[in-house]
Amino acid sequence: MSSRIPHLLEPYLALPPRGSLVLVTGVLGASTNWMVLRCLYSALSGKSQGEAELGDSAVVLVSFMRDFTFWRDGASKLVC
């Protein structure tokens, strides 16, 4: 799995304004796992726009369909 974020996707991965919530949803046949992992990578690695606010940011991932092991393994592939 590539950790490189596509150039056209980078503007959408910027941190939202303070106090905002981001909800990523999917439809049948279109998994959101790829997008969620890249959003997390961007936010936690400091590669998103608005890095000055990163210290005040928190990330909460709630997944009803996948367990912790799935997300941990996917994230570890992004870091390598």
Residue 3 pLDDT grade (very low, low, confident, very high; cuts 50, 70, 90): low
**53 found inside a domain:** yes
**59 found inside a domain:** yes
Give me the number of domains the chain comprises.
1
Residue 68: which domain range?
10-79
The answer to whether the CB of 15 falls within 8 A of the CB of 50 is yes
Q: What is the pLDDT of residue 61?
A: 82
**Is the pLDDT score of 47 beyond 80?**
no
**30 found inside a domain:** yes
**5 found inside a domain:** no
Question: Residues 6 or more apart from 52 whose CB is under 8 A from it?
Answer: none
